[in-house]
Chain A
Amino acid sequence: GESVGLHLPTLSVQEGDNSIINCAYSNSASDYFIWYKQESGKGPQFIIDIRSNMDKRQGQRVTVLLNKTVKHLSLQIAATQPGDSAVYFCAALYSTLTFGKGTMLLVSP
C-alpha cells in the first residue's frame, strides 16, 4: 500500500530562522501533494499544495519543493515565528489523501 512519512518527529528552531520540514512518499503514482498545519486541539489547516507537473510552489513565507526522482517533498518556512509552532503534515493523493505522521515544529524566541 501507499505510505507517506516524515523524516523527523520534532524540529526545534529559533525565531527568525528558516525551517525545513521533509517528507517522503512511497508510490510515484500520486500527482498531488498537500501540506497541513495543526495546532494543538484543533483541526488541520491547509498551507500549500503542489501538483506533480511542478517542482516548486511558493506562498506567503512558505515554499513547497517536490523531487519526483527521489519521491521527496519539503516545506520551507521563511523567518519562522512563534505562531508557526504546530504539527505539520504532508499528504499525497492516491485514491484518497494519505497522511504522514507529522513533524512538530517548536519555535523558541
Chain B
Amino acid sequence: DGGITQSPKYLFRKEGQNVTLSCEQNLNHDAMYWYRQDPGQGLRLIYYSQIVNDFQKGDIAEGYSVSREKKESFPLTVTSAQKNPTAFYLCASSTIAGEPSYEQYFGPGTRLTVT
C-alpha cells in the first residue's frame, strides 16, 4: 500500500531527554513536512523539506531538528530545548509541482507526552 507512516503512535519521555519521531513515505513525494497540533488548534509548521539534504524552518522550529538523508524519510527530533513538547505531531508529504494538486498526504500522527 502506498502511504505515509509514523511511529510510534504514542511516545512518553522524561523532561530533558531528546526524542526522535519517525516518518516514512513510499509515495515518491519530493516534499515532506512536520506539523505540531495542540488541542483546539490548527496545524503549525515546524520544518519542511523539498529535496534530499535540504530543509527549511517553519513557523515554530525552535527546539526541533530534522534531517533528510533519504527521499523516503524525514525524522524529527524534539530536543530538550523545546519548552512545551507535549503535543500531537503530524508528518505529511506532497509533490512540489502542484499537479494534479498541492494536496499534502498526512500520516496517522504521534502523540508525544513529556513529563
Q: Do A and B come from one complex?
A: yes
Q: Which residues of A contact B (CB under 8 A)?
A: 4, 9, 32, 34, 36, 41-46, 49, 89, 93, 96-97, 99-102
Q: Which of A34, A43, A99, A100 contacts B107 (CB 8 A)?
A: A43
Q: Which of B42, B98, B101 contacts A100 (CB 8 A)?
A: B42
Specify which of B42, B44, B106, B109 lies most central, judged by the most chain A CB atoms within 10 Å of its CB.
Answer: B42
* 23 pairs, CB–CB < 8 Å, chain A vs chain B: A32-B101, A32-B102, A34-B101, A34-B102, A34-B103, A36-B106, A41-B109, A41-B111, A42-B109, A43-B107, A43-B108, A44-B43, A44-B90, A46-B105, A49-B101, A93-B102, A96-B33, A96-B58, A97-B102, A99-B42, A100-B42, A101-B41, A102-B40
Given A32-B98, A44-B90, A96-B58, residue A49 in contact with residue B42 (CB < 8 A)? no
CB of B104 within 8 Å of the partner chain: yes
| B48: nearest chain-A partner, CB-CB | A96
Q: Which of B40, B90, B103, B109 contacts A46 (CB 8 A)?
A: B103
Q: Which chain A positions have C-beta within 8 A of B90?
A: 43-44
A9 to B42 alpha-carbon distance, docked (Å): 11
CB of B51 within 8 Å of the partner chain: no
* Majority-rule SS of A interface residues: strand
The 6 closest A-B pairs by CB, nearest first: A43-B106, A101-B42, A99-B42, A99-B43, A44-B106, A46-B103
Categorize the interface residue count of chain B: 20 to 34
Specify which of B43, B58, B90, B108 lies most central, judged by the most chain A CB atoms within 10 Å of its CB.
Answer: B43
A106 to B104 alpha-carbon distance, docked (Å): 25
CB of B45 within 8 Å of the partner chain: yes
Apart from A4-B42, A32-B101, A32-B102, what 12 extra A-B contacts exist at CB < 8 Å? A32-B98, A34-B102, A41-B111, A42-B108, A42-B109, A43-B92, A43-B106, A44-B90, A49-B103, A89-B42, A99-B43, A99-B44
Q: Which chain B positions have C-beta within 8 A of A100?
A: 42
- Contact call A49/B43, Cβ cutoff below 8 A: no
CB distance from B109 to the nearest CB of A (A): 5
Given A44-B90, A96-B33, A101-B40, residue A49 in contact with residue B108 (CB < 8 A)? no
